[in-house]
Chain A
Amino acid sequence: MSTPEQQISTAIQEAIAENDVILFMKGTPEAPRCGFSARTVQVLEALGTPFAAVDILPDPRIRQELSALSQWPTIPQLFVRGELVGGCDIITEMYESGELAQTLGVEQPADEAPGDDAAPLTIENRLN
């Protein structure tokens, strides 16, 4: 017989294994319950990447078992292909540098690209 804690731990490991991009957060993407979770959701949505989300708030044991597995004390936690990528700070930093788009295998939104100071060329202003 496994304990409820072991069952939660197994369920977390299965969720991480089954979803290429999975975010453990406080609240839901539609209704985040913490500013750090909200900002991480915004970054993922800005990149247009599909992701699974798990609300850790309904049972304190979810956070306890998650942190024991990941060796990471805070929420949110983003996993990509089974690996912890980071929490809000690292995700924001990686988004701004373009690394997150690379990790996720998506295009960095053009208007957010770092060092993209030059005004974009448009067809319209050539027609004037």
Chain B
Amino acid sequence: MPTTDELKQRIEASIPGAIADVVDLNGGGDHFRATVVAPEFAGLTRIEQHRRVYAVFGPDIGGPIHALSLTTRAEA
């Protein structure tokens, strides 16, 4: 079962300079919310920013990670 720390580490390891804040929405280890701030999001649309974060997890989204709610921006 994925943990908030694991999600945070995977995001921060895959997106250079990213700072991720991850919470488990219902304590069940499958519905998460993440706020991700990363310099490379500058100039990307929201769709492109979210796709970048979803890409970190690939098929895990919809698998062990049932839902990952996102807020993304380029600057803190």
Contact = CB atoms under 8 A, between A and B. Distances in A.
Interface of A: 36, 71-74, 84-90, 93-94
Contacts of B62: 73-74
B5 to A, nearest CB: 22
B69 interface: yes
Contacts of A84: 47
Interface residues of B, number: 12
B27 to A, nearest CB: 16
B54 A86 contact: no
Contacts, number: 32
A93 B69 CA distance: 12
Interface of B: 46-47, 50-51, 54, 61-62, 67-71
A93 B51 contact: no
Given A71-B51, A74-B54, A84-B47, 18 more contacts: A36-B67, A36-B69, A72-B50, A72-B54, A73-B61, A74-B61, A74-B62, A74-B67, A74-B68, A86-B46, A86-B47, A87-B50, A89-B50, A89-B69, A90-B46, A90-B47, A90-B50, A93-B71
Given A86-B46, A90-B46, A93-B46, A72 B71 contact: no
B69 A88 contact: yes
